[in-house]
A and B are shown apart, each in its own frame.
Chain A
Amino acid sequence: MSILVGTETRLLVQGITGREGTFHAEQMHAYGTNIVAGVTPGKGGRTALTANVPVYDTCWRAVQETGADTSVIYVPAPGAPDAIVEAVSAGISTVFCITEHIPALDMLKVIPVVESYGARLVGPNCPGATSVGQAKVGIIPGSIHKPGRVGLVSRSGTLTYEVVQALTDAGIGQSTCVGIGGDPITGSSFVDILALFAADPDTDALVLIGEIGGDAEETAAAWRLEHLPDTPMAAFIAGRTAPPGRRMGHAGAIISGASGTAVSKIAALEAAGVRVAESPSEIPRLLGEAGVRPD
C-alpha cells in the first residue's frame, strides 16, 4: 500500500490555475493520480485540465463537495503559509507544500496549527511524494520510477531523481519516494517518514538522501538504531566539500560552526549500520550488499 499517497488519495491542488499548478496538475493526472479538485480564490466554477477537474474558491468548499483528503500547494511564498492553514482547517489530512522561500518564522507558527488538526505537512520547499504506479503528488518526474519495495526519503529534489534513476537502472524498484524539503523548518522530518515506512508492509529496504545543515540525519540514525536496526538501508550525504558558513542553495544547507557537517552525519549513519555511498551510483550496490535483490 506504500505511504502518504496511493490509489485511494483524493487530491486537491491549491493554485491549480497558476503556471506551475497547471503544468504539474497535468503531469500528476497523466501519472494516474486522482485529482478531485483545484482551488484558486476568485476562479471558482471553472474547470481545470482535460479531466474537467472542478475549481473552487475555497478549500472548505472543495473538501465539502469532493471529499478531498490530500492537498498539494503551488501557491507563491507570501500566500503559502495561509494556504497550509486553509487546507488543514478545511479537513485535509496530508498537505504537501512545494513552494520555496517561505520565511522560517512563518513556518514556526504554522506547524503547531497543522499539528492541532492532527494533520501532516510535508515540505515546504519539497518535490512531493510518489507511490510508484499508484499516485504522484508534487513535481517528481513520473518516468524515473520502477515499482518495488525500497522506500526513499530525501531533503533534495533533483538529487532524489538521480538516486531513483540509479535504482531503476539497476532493476531495484521503489515503493514510495518522499522529498521532505530543503528548508531549515519542515513539517515532516526524516524520522516521521521512516516511521511510516516501518509500518508499511510493502517497504522492505530504505534509502536516505541527506545533506549538510542541522542534525536531522543524526536523529534519523539514532532512530534507526532503536527501531529498525535490521532493515537494509543505504544513504548518501551531499555537501562533503561545502565550505562552512555558506548557504548551499537550500535554506537549510549550511554548516554553522561545528554543527551540520557531512562528516558528523556520515559517522552517525555508519554507526547505526547504514551503508553510506560516496556517489549516488553506488547506492544500488550497497543495497545489494545489504540483501536487496533487483525486482
Chain B
Amino acid sequence: MKLQEADAKSLLVSQSLPVPPWAVVRTPSDAREVARSFFASGAEKVVIKAQVLVGGRGKAGGVRLAADVHEAEEVASAILAMDIKGIQVRKVLVAPAADIVAEFYLSCVLDRGARKVLFMGSAQGGIDIEQVAADEPDSITYIHAHPHLGLLDHQARLMAFELGLGAHLAEVVAIAKGLYATMIANDADLVEINPLAIVHERAADGSIVERLRCLDAKITLDDSALSRHPGLEALRDLDEEDPVDVEARTQGISFIRLAGDIGCMVNGAGLAMTTMDLVKRAGGQPANFLDIGGGAKADKVAQAMRLILADPSVKAILVNIFGGIARGDEVAHGLVEARTQQERTVPMVVRIVGTNAELAAEILEGSQGIQLADSLDGAVEAAVAAARAYRDAVGADGGAGR
C-alpha cells in the first residue's frame, strides 16, 4: 500500500525526523489561508504540491511555487483542477518553500535478492533514483542493515562521509537511524527521503544557519503486515481506489481492473497472470486480473462474478480453475448460482480441471450461455471469439445497459 506524501511525512515525524511544517487542503481558499500563516511565520514563498499516488507529478505541473497568498490560491486552484495520469487531484500539500543549498537521496528498501534491508544514499538528490542508478551508478552508496542488529551507527556514519555530509555527522546519523526505524515500526517495503536537503534557515538570533531537512517522502507498506497496524490501514486513500478494488479486498479476492473486455476468474496468482497473458496473445484484451484464492467456495465464486460484471465493458467471461484445494464442483455450483443472480448475461467460457472436474462438467452441462473447454489454450481462444461475437452482435457500446 502506497502512502500519500503527507502521511509518509507524518510517519517520519513520529520517528523524530526533521520535516518542515506542512498542511493538506482540499480547496483553493483553504490553500490561501494556510499559505497566509506560513508567510506570517517568515516564509518567502510557499510550495503547493498535488497529493496523488502516481509518480511524475512534478513533470506534470503538479508542484509549483507561490510568492503571495493570491498566487497560492490561484496555483492551488489550477492544481486541484488537474488530472495526473488519470487520477483527479483532490488535495494539495502546502508548505513553506525551502531555501535549498544541496539535495541528497536517502532510503531504506527491502532487498529481495540479499534478503536484507538495503540502506541507500546518493549526493544526487531530488531526481528519480532509477535515473541516477542508470546514469551515475557510482554516486549511490549501498549498505545492508543487519537482520537482527538493525542499522548501526557506524553504517550511518559511513553513509554520511560517503555523501560528503561529514560536517553534518550527528544530523545524518539521527536521520539514518530514524529512517530505518520508520521502516521497521511500520513494516514498510520502502521509505524514501528525496530530497534530503541542506537548507538555509533563520535561527532565533536572526543569523542564517544550515540544517538538514526531509523535503519529500515516499513510503510503501507491506500489505501482509497491515493487519498488525490498524492505524495504518486508515491511511489508505480510498479517493484514489477503484470502488471495485475496495470491494474485492474486503472479500479477500485479489482483483485488478484492466482496460480490456474479457473478464477473467482464475484460482492462483500465477495462473491468473498466465490467463491474462494468453488472452492478450490470442488477440483479446483482459478486463481484469482476478485470483479467487485457495479453496474457492461457491459463495466466493458468486462474489467474484459480481465484481467482473460490475465492469460494463466486459463482453465475455473466462473461468479457469485448476482444482487442487479448490474443488471443481464447488466452483461449478457457484457459477450456476451467480448466473441466476446476474442482472446482465455475457457469454461465459469455463474450463475446470483437476479435483472433481467431471462433477463440475455434469453441473454445468446444458447451462444457457456457458461453453465448456478442456484446454487452457482452447478456453482462451473460445473466450476471445465469444467477446468478438458479442461485440458484433450488441454493438460497440457492449450492451452496457443490459
Q: Contact residues of A with B, CB < 8 Å? A: 23, 77-78, 100-109, 111-112, 127, 139-141, 143-144, 154-162, 165, 182-185, 209, 211-216, 219, 236, 238-243, 246-253, 257-258, 278-281
Contact present for B269 and A253 (CB under 8 Å): yes
Known contacts A108-B117, A238-B277; A160 and B270 CB within 8 A of each other: yes
**Which chain A residues lie closer than 8 Å to B110 at the CB level?**
104-105, 108, 184-185
Q: Mask for B217-231, Cβ within 8 A of A = 1, else 0?
A: 000001111011000
Asked if B276 contacts A241 (CB within 8 A), the reply is yes
Closest beta carbon of chain B to A5's beta carbon, Å: 18
B116 an interface residue at 8 Å Cβ cutoff? yes
Contact call B130/A278, Cβ cutoff below 8 A: no
- Closest residue of chain A to B380 (Cβ to Cβ) is A279
Whether A105 pairs with B222 at a CB distance below 8 angstroms is: yes
Nearest opposing residue in chain A for B113, CB measure: A215
Contact A238 B270 (CB under 8 A): yes
Shortest beta-carbon distance, A222 to chain B, in Å? 12
B273/A211 in contact, CB under 8 A: yes
Say yes or no: B113 contacts A219, CB within 8 Å.
yes
A-B contact sample (16 more), CB < 8 A, given A109-B147, A143-B354, A241-B277: A77-B224, A105-B225, A108-B117, A112-B147, A157-B294, A159-B274, A185-B112, A211-B269, A214-B112, A216-B113, A240-B277, A241-B280, A242-B276, A248-B254, A249-B289, A252-B112
| B214 within 8 Å of A (CB atoms) | no
Chain A residues near B123 (CB-CB < 8 A): none
A242, B113: Cβ atoms closer than 8 Å? no
Residues of A within 8 A of B225 (CB): 103-106
A111's contact among B113, B147, B277, B286, by CB below 8 Å, is which?
Answer: B147
Docked complex Cα distance between A243 and B286 (Å)? 12
Instruction: Give A73 to B272 CA distance when docked, in angstroms.
Output: 25
Cβ contacts under 8 Å, A248 to chain B? 254, 256, 269, 272-273, 289
Whether A184 pairs with B324 at a CB distance below 8 angstroms is no
User: A95: shortest Cβ distance to chain B, in Å?
Assistant: 16
The reply to whether B130 and A249 form a contact with Cβ atoms under 8 Å apart is no
Compute how far the CA of A155 lies from the CA of B270 in the bound complex, rounded to whole angstroms: 8
Q: Is B291 an interface residue (CB 8 A)?
A: yes
Chain A min CB distance to B274 (Å): 5
Min distance, Cβ A237 to any Cβ of chain B, angstroms: 9
C-alpha gap A139/B137 in the complex (Å) = 43
Contact string, B177-196, partner A, CB cutoff 8 A, digits 1/0?
00000011001010000000
Is B267 touching A158 in the complex (CB atoms < 8 A)?
yes
Chain A residues contacting B258 (CB-CB under 8 Å) are: 243
With A139-B325, A216-B113, A241-B280: A249-B354 Cβ-Cβ less than 8 Å: no
Knowing A77-B224, A161-B322 are in contact, say whether A279-B281 is a contact too (CB < 8 A): yes
The closest CB in chain A to the CB of B220 belongs to A256
Tell me the bound Cα distance from A215 to B112 in angstroms: 8
A-B contact pairs, 14 of them (CB 8 A): A101-B224, A105-B110, A107-B115, A108-B115, A111-B147, A155-B270, A157-B268, A159-B268, A161-B354, A185-B110, A209-B270, A216-B113, A258-B130, A279-B376
CB within 8 Å of A: which of B263-292? 266-274, 276-278, 280-281, 286, 289, 291
Q: A106–B115 Cα gap in the complex (Å)?
A: 11
Query: Known contacts A158-B322, A161-B322, A251-B224: does B115 contact A281 (CB below 8 Å)?
Result: no
**In the complex, chain A residues whose CB is within 8 Å of the CB of B267:** 158
A251 touches B270 (CB 8 A): no
How far apart are A88's CB and chain B's nearest CB, in angstroms? 15
| Among A105, A111, A143, A155, residue most surrounded by chain B Cβ atoms (within 10 Å) | A105
Cβ of A180 to closest chain B Cβ, rounded Å? 12
A88 to B96, CA, bound (A): 54
A251 touches B322 (CB 8 A): no
A239 vs B258: C-alpha distance in the bound complex, in angstroms? Answer: 13
Give the distance to chain A from B384, nearest Cβ to Cβ, in Å.
14
**B contact set with A: CB distance below 8 Å:** 110, 112-113, 115-117, 130, 147-148, 183-184, 187, 189, 222-225, 227-228, 254, 256, 258, 266-274, 276-278, 280-281, 286, 289, 291, 294, 322-325, 353-355, 375-377
Complex Cα spacing A248 to B281, Å: 19
B residues less than 8 Å from A239 (CB atoms): 273, 277
Give the contacting residue for A140; candidates B224, B274, B324; CB below 8 A. B324
Which residues from chain A contact B148 at a C-beta distance below 8 Å? 109, 112
Assembled-state Cα–Cα distance A184/B114 (Å): 11
| Structural contact, B376 and A281, CB atoms closer than 8 A | yes
Residues from chain A with a CB closer than 8 A to the CB of B375 are 281
Q: Which chain A residues border B117 with CB–CB below 8 Å?
A: 105, 108
Tell whether, in the assembled complex, residue A278 and residue B273 are in contact, meaning their CB atoms are under 8 Å apart.
no
B115 contacts which chain A residues (CB < 8 A)? Answer: 107-108, 111, 185
A212 to B274, CA, bound (A): 11
Instruction: Compute how far the CA of A257 lies from the CA of B276 in the bound complex, rounded to whole angstroms.
Output: 21
Contact (Cβ within 8 A) B324 A156: no
> When the two chains form their complex, are residues B270 and A211 in contact, meaning their CB atoms are under 8 A apart?
yes
Residues on A with beta carbons closer than 8 Å to the beta carbon of B354? 141, 143-144, 161, 165
Q: Take A185-B112, A281-B375 as given contacts and tell me if A104 and B273 are in contact as well, using a CB distance cutoff of 8 Å.
A: no
Residues on B with beta carbons closer than 8 Å to the beta carbon of A183: 224
Of the candidates B189, B228, B289, the one having the most CB atoms from chain A within 10 angstroms of its own CB is: B289
Residues of A within 8 A of B355 (CB): 141
For B112, what are the chain A residues with a Cβ–Cβ distance below 8 Å? Answer: 184-185, 213-216, 252
* Contact in complex: B291, A103 (CB < 8 Å): no
Residue of B nearest to A125 (CB): B224
Interchain CA distance A103-B227 in the complex, whole Å: 10
CA distance A158 to B291 in the complex (A): 11
Decide: A157 and B270 in contact? CB cutoff 8 A. Answer: yes
CB neighbours of B291 from chain A (8 A): 249
User: What residue in chain A is nearest B53 (Cβ atoms)?
Assistant: A245
CB distance from A96 to the nearest CB of B (A): 15
A240 touching B113, Cβ below 8 Å: no
